[in-house]
Amino acid sequence: MRNPWKVIAGLVFDDWWLFLGVLAAILLSYLGLSFGMNGPTGGWLLTLFILIALILSLSMEYRKKVKQAGRT
CA 17 to chain centre: 7
Find the domain containing 60 and state its range: 28-67
| Letter string b/e over residues 53-62, b meaning 16 or more CB atoms within 10 A of that residue's CB | bbeebeeeee
pLDDT, tens digit (0-9, with 9 covering 90-100), for 8-53: 777 667 777 788 888 999 999 999 999 999 999 999 999 999 999 8
Residue 3 main-chain phi, psi, to 5 deg: -65, 125
Q: Residue 1 pLDDT > 80, yes or no?
A: no
Nearest CA to 26 among 37, 42, 6, 38? 42
Q: Does residue 2 fall inside a structural domain?
A: no
pTM to 2 decimals?
A: 0.72
More confident residue, 3 or 35: 35
pLDDT band at 66 (very low <50, low <70, confident <90, very high): confident
Query: SS3 for 42?
Result: helix
Q: Does residue 4 fall inside a structural domain?
A: no
Number of domains in the chain: 1
